[in-house]
Amino acid sequence: GQQVMQIPQYQHVQEGEDFTTYCNSSTTLSNIQWYKQRPGGHPVFLIQLVKSGEVKKQKRLTFQFGEAKKNSSLHITATQTTDVGTYFCAGRGNQGGKLIFGQGTELSVKP
Amino acid sequence: GAVVSQHPSRVICKSGTSVKIECRSLDFQATTMFWYRQFPKQSLMLMATSNEGSKATYEQGVEKDKFLINHASLTLSTLTVTSAHPEDSSFYICSARPGTSGSYEQYFGPGTRLTVT
């Protein structure tokens, strides 16, 4: 079945450094979503990417969807302590259906 | 913005008892609600998808007789863990998708931490 892999599992950065998490699907996706879950909290929707090669920005966050629609990345520029949390990607297959979540990347930021 | 509530936020129960968790969409109608389970430091595992007025669709490996789901209205879905055992201890999170055409966002509830002793 469809699998969504996310790396790295953990990332520790100094405040001000950049951060990137990568998401790879075993099958072509119709769309991919990104969520952030703060420690002890619940996932919060960040964005959805639909088009091949799409790039979207939200302030210091840049989201990319690969040309083949099988991979995606989230890049944070100049991390801040408020960026701490686990970032999940979630992909939906071409046949529609359920979202498959990646394992998440836990980001910690040292002030 | 869209708000989803869950009740209770924490519950401790004895082995063999049943626990009901409620998921409510507070300011929108949700034709579809999802139930996830999350173990510490792990991802969200979809347990079932429920559509208002019809039977829930369970994921492979999820026992429908153990995890009873009822989506009786457009704003409420319930998950009942029957005859709970310690291995059922987990963080259960629901999410809801608005019924508006083309809506793709899922709004997550705050989760329910179940501990079975």
> Within the 38-77 window of chain A, which residues sit less than 8 Å (CB to CB) from chain B?
41-45, 48
β-bridge partners, A75:
A20, A62
If one counts every other C-beta atom within 10 angstroms of the C-beta of residue B60, the result is 5
Name which of A43, A44, A106 is nearest B44 (Cβ-Cβ): A43
B63 CB burial (10 A radius; 0-12, 13-18, 19+): exposed
Residue with tokens 């992909």: A91
Give the integer Cα–Cα distance in Å for A99 and B47: 12
Identify any residues that bridge with A71 across adjacent strands, giving them in sequence order.
A24
Please answer yes or no on whether B105 and A102 come within 8 Å at the CB atom: no
| Residue B42 at interface with chain A, using a CB cutoff of 8 Å | yes
**Any chain A CB within 8 A of the CB of B91?**
no
A23-40: pLDDT as tens digits: 999 999 999 999 999 988
Which of A7, A35, A42, A51 should be substituted to probe chain B, the one whose Cβ sees the most B Cβ atoms within 10 Å?
A42
pLDDT at B81: 97
Q: What is the pLDDT of residue A95?
A: 65
Tens-of-pLDDT digits for all 111 residues of chain A? Answer: 778 999 999 999 999 999 999 999 999 999 999 999 998 888 998 999 999 999 999 999 999 999 999 999 999 999 999 999 999 999 988 766 678 899 999 999 999
Express each pLDDT in B25-58 by its tens digit: 998 888 889 999 998 878 899 999 988 888 899 9
Q: Is the preceding peptide bond at A8 cis, omega within 30 degrees of 0?
A: yes
**pLDDT < 70 stretches in chain B:** 1, 100-104
Mutation site, B28, B34, B44, interface A, largest A CB count within 10 A? B44
